[in-house]
Structure 1
């Protein structure tokens, strides 16, 4: 009995060893097979390669014809010409990488598709088919309803959110992105993707709301010369949106505010009340002298201040004028009805000019102005010295049509069409009534001996009152 037990004990290790050897052989053979063959359910670019080696898989792919039809939700929207898959023997290394990637020691059946790009990629799909499908989707969208994003809006001082509206237009970008992912498949099957609008709860819309609420509470102190206007957003903005990081504002109410400020403060084109040297109170129509607020500039300044949260701004940057100085003249001058105390005064009736600086008379001279007989009168109005030049060549045309070019030593122009103060060495008639029949072409002629003092008494942008 003991001998029998001993024999059994000796056989047990042998059996175990045999089993282990068998398992090693089985699993070794299985592993060797798995290393070189794809698992069941594996596909490359939609082509089943279950149980194939890398070379066999490439051979199958190489012999696969692509019909290039494109499907959307199970319906063909484009019929393409059949082409080869583009796979060749040179693609074996890439397929071997997939073989290694999907390797399992024990055979498995798991449906899995891998997309790889063949060495000889499908240009027909990339160009012709891609372009055609994109055009088809865009054309289809023309008859579909567009989704409308939710958005925040400021209106009548209150911020509200307008809800989104769904549509059924294709999201062409998303669908073409899926097309690109399937570019090497044996067939391309797309699912429709519809455009999704921004919802009211989206971060974008909530950010819009916050921006508009901040704008709605804004106010700006707009200083015009010596007066400050408190401009509140609710009084200036009709409506506003915040789109792609920028405000879009309807500000008709602000335009009305600027128009009102111009009526109260601007001097460009106004009638000036003026007290002559003789003490007479007169009104003289403004011509080139003066300033006004540019509606475009002022709105831009005020709205930007509201957007940025800036409290105080000055209107000086927003004014304009006419003539040589397009930035306006006389801004900040409030005395003497906007003329100030430095100016030139020219009386056509008296044929005399006075020159004031800081309220003091610094010079005065007799002049000969534009000829009345030939309708060349010096124009009345409030102008300004546009520029000065010494010496200068004056060019123009006489009333009879003849052109002239006259050299003068001192020239101070004050009208757009070329009238100014200058010496006239050629003139012999200095009578007080010379301007009636023997006047100038429109300028104020000055005796040469007095011209330098007049030139120095004047300055650029200084007002000139002609009456």
Structure 2
């Protein structure tokens, strides 16, 4: 009986426990359902809100409009536009600032903002919230381009009269030393480029623009200090001006160095030097032309008439009368030495060299003949050792004794003087002389005895007793001269009162 009672008791309890479990399950399901409904409601509520509000992380022109309505976002953009300004930095530390009111800078509704809101997937807001992805939107602000242009043009920096153009690097002469002066950049602007760059910067709502960084805004030099052509020019100039030629000339030295050659370089109004071959060649030619003319003045200190200049004869024959510079050869050698920086001392390239460099090229042993006074002097070691009267060539074009600087070609005893050769082979005259000292060999002029002359000196050469050009001397005089002078002795012939035929 007890067993039955126990079993019955157990059986009676089981239905009650099952009912309790079911009840708890139902409650749990109800709670879960409520939670789901609440979550769904919240989800839908937020999703619906994002129909009119921007997602988290939405940026318009760098302004965070997260959670804002379209109107709120646009109001924020308008407010921000009023605070806008842009700073323009020019070269040299010059800065100007433009505010929004200066150019009527403002926000006006644009479809991009509306589209950004409408294109939001409102049901993806949880993912947006969790990831925090940013949606950056850029919209153009509105401004008055004419106001911006006028404002920029009003700046002193943008006015032509205040602009300093750039300068090229160049070779300069600083205290006598050549060096490269560096280029300068100045502040010359291309105003159109500046205005376009400013418009672009304002359109992009930039806070700063550095005009230095804008391509082609500033004019630039075309030649810089490291330019190969410029460094080459400097090298040429330094080599050229380092050269020095000391010319040993009759009467003294002449130095050609930087003091002169610097003026052979081209230099502009800004002090920029250039090495111009053609100009240098031309200056070299001028220099040697002047030297040649000076040397050919043949200044001579006469015995009775002071200093005179003895020029070349014009009688129409070729003769090494005097000394002269071979211009073409000298110019060529001089330029070669200058352009290679040579330092040297030398004589010029002579066409005919002087007898010596002493006593203006005449030396101290010479024969002096003054046709005007019909007189001759012989000097040895600067001392007068003999003098005498003469008879020179008749004063007609074909017979006068020409001015010049000559030398005794040779000495000869018992020589036969001959006139022009006739067609039959005979000579116009044949005259034997005891002493013959020729000094103009081209036309047979020299010093000799003239026993046919009754006297010497005075004006006999002008009154029908003149020679064919030779210097007529008495026998005793020519014998003395013959004993005093040697081959190569200078013979200086001049007219102290001028020669009407030259």
Of structures 1 and 2, the larger Rg is shown by: 2
Structure with bigger strand share is 1
TM range (shorter): 0.3 to 0.5
Q: TM-score with structure 1 length normalisation?
A: 0.43
